[in-house]
Structure 1
Amino acid sequence: MEQYNLKLSERLIAVAEFLPKRAKFADIGSDHAYLPCFVCLHDEQALAIAGEVNRGPFESAQKNVSKQGLEERIVVRLGNGLEVINEDDHIEQIVIAGMGGGLITNILDKGVEKLSTVNRLILQPNVDARQIRVWLNEHQFDLTAERILEENGHIYEILVADRNGVHPYKSEMIEKQLLLGPYLMEEKSSIFLKKWREEASKLKLVIEQMKQAAQPDEQKIKKFTQELSWIEEELNHG
């Protein structure tokens, strides 16, 4: 069928794999509704809301949904973050992909009351996954899966959290696990090792520069040195 002619990035295909069958989800910052279209084309019982904050992408998303003949199952809404979700939507999963960790947690914070029916969050930060792990840990969502992949020279992490999942952290090493990811640490894939080798090199430079400052920030130096030792521990056991 012609409508299946929808090319999705490897990153978004990996995100889609964490949605259950018959998903009822919202994709926030939907990037032309590619992900909702892909999911609904492959699962005839899936329903989606595609949320866009800007008029241009909103109109583009509407066109894409219409082109695929999915207007009955995908609603495109214009609004900021979780504003696009209403109580009577009974949304069960939320996807937020392709933003910084800080922006993702900000969106979740501002719309936290919209999460009452949501049992799964699928979050793909471009940077600062740690901030998201901390947020989830403080908001009754248990991290239940993680995935790391490389595409077009960028390394991405996907974090999946369920309400009433299994708590993945060990109290004596929680800070290290929040930084590196408890499941990614266990799996220790070649991409994980590549990412943290690069991060270790950057961190060493930052620490050296900070030490040379006229008034070194000892607290920050201590924090970064601790992080570097955790990273090196993992790399040495890789």
Structure 2
Amino acid sequence: MELSKRLRAVAGLVTEGASVADIGTDHGYIPIYLAAHGTAGKVIASDINEGPLERARIHIQGQKDVCGKIETRRSDGLKAIKPGEADTMIAAGMGGGLIIRILEEGKDVTEQMKDLILQPQSEAGKVRSYLNGHGFVIVEEDMVEEEGKYYPMMRAEHGTAGTYTETELCYGKLLLEQRHPVLREYLLREQRIKRDIEVQLGESESERSAKRRKELEKERKLIQNALEYYR
């Protein structure tokens, strides 16, 4: 089975031989890929909704080489996953706020996990901040562009995180240190977008425009700080 660039990058963060709980599995593509390639010996494919879970079951049944390696389970986050059942959690393609809620509510499960592989669709900085403040350290990051959209992702382990600046939280300390080329593309695009918005605001003196200008000034400063890593 061929994965999208985004999902392939997420799967690439999984450690060989892991037992995986894929939270919000949707079509079950990542569990099938991990089982078929021998990356994971056991995968729990879970979703809160029965519809996506049924689609995942159909896709799994259509792949004979993964028979017996994947279990589907209806679960709200980690609530139906027992501590010790999996050493790796994947949460990809959902908002950062939802990922944080899942981690917060599933502390008894994540305490016994080795890896958290997270791909937030929004608020990645808040996810990094949560990990850093709750006994996890980000040990690997990646970012891909697919069909005009940019997807950051990270792998975290138990440990003590070092000091992060606001820029590093926002855009990813490891991505910046690596001078990741996809992050640079994203930063330059965001820089252009901010400039265009400022032009659109023009000389308006409304309270709303003034507030937005202040926000843009902060956002542009963070982008500029991030681009300094590429000098």
TM-score by length of 1: 0.84
Structure 2: gaps (5+ residues): none
Correspondence for 2:173: 182
Corresponding residue pairs, total: 227
Matched residues in 1 for 2:8 and 2:74: separation?
24
Q: Is the 8 A contact 2:83 2:110 kept in 1?
A: no
Q: How does 1:183-202 map to 2 (within 5 A)?
A: 183-202=174-193
For the residue of structure 1 that corresponds to 2:116, the secondary structure is strand
Task: Specify the code of the residue in structure 2 equivalent to 1:178.
Answer: L
**How big is the shift at 1:13?**
1.3
**How big is the shift at 1:77?**
0.5
Change (3 A) 1:167 1:138: closer
Matched residues in 2 for 1:237 and 1:52: separation?
39
Change (3 A) 1:34 1:215: closer
Matched residues in 1 for 2:32 and 2:13: separation?
16
Q: Is the 8 A contact 1:207 1:224 kept in 2?
A: no
Aligned match of 1:74 in 70, 77, 101?
70
Matched residues in 2 for 1:26 and 1:167: separation?
24
**How big is the shift at 1:84?**
2.7
Change (3 A) 1:113 1:222: farther
**Kindly, what percent of the aligned residue pairs are identical?**
30
Q: How does 1:1-238 map to 2 (within 5 A)?
A: 6-43=1-38, 46-69=41-64, 70-87=66-83, 89=85, 91-164=86-159, 167-170=161-164, 174-204=165-195, 205=197, 209=201, 212-214=205-207, 225-236=217-228, 238=230
Stretches (4+) displaced over 3 A: 201-204, 206-209, 215-218, 220-224
**How big is the shift at 1:186?**
1.5
Task: Specify the code of the residue in structure 1 equivalent to 2:188.
Answer: R
Matched residues in 1 for 2:106 and 2:194: separation?
34
Cα distance per residue 1:161-191 (max 9 Å; x no partner): 1112x63535xxx212101211111122332
Matched residues in 2 for 1:103 and 1:24: separation?
23
Structure 1: gaps (5+ residues): 1-5
For the residue of structure 2 that corresponds to 1:48, the secondary structure is strand
**How big is the shift at 1:32?**
1.4
Change (3 A) 1:196 1:63: same
Task: Specify the code of the residue in structure 2 equivalent to 1:16.
Answer: A
Q: Is the 8 A contact 2:49 2:74 kept in 1?
A: yes
For the residue of structure 1 that corresponds to 2:25, the secondary structure is coil
Cα distance per residue 1:53-77 (max 9 Å; x no partner): 1111111111222222334221101
Matched residues in 1 for 2:39 and 2:156: separation?
25
**How big is the shift at 1:114?**
1.9
Matched residues in 2 for 1:44 and 1:182: separation?
27
Q: Is the 8 A contact 2:176 2:229 kept in 1?
A: no
Matched residues in 1 for 2:28 and 2:217: separation?
42
Q: Is the 8 A contact 2:139 2:156 kept in 1?
A: yes
**How big is the shift at 1:199?**
2.1
* Structural RMSD (CA): 2.5
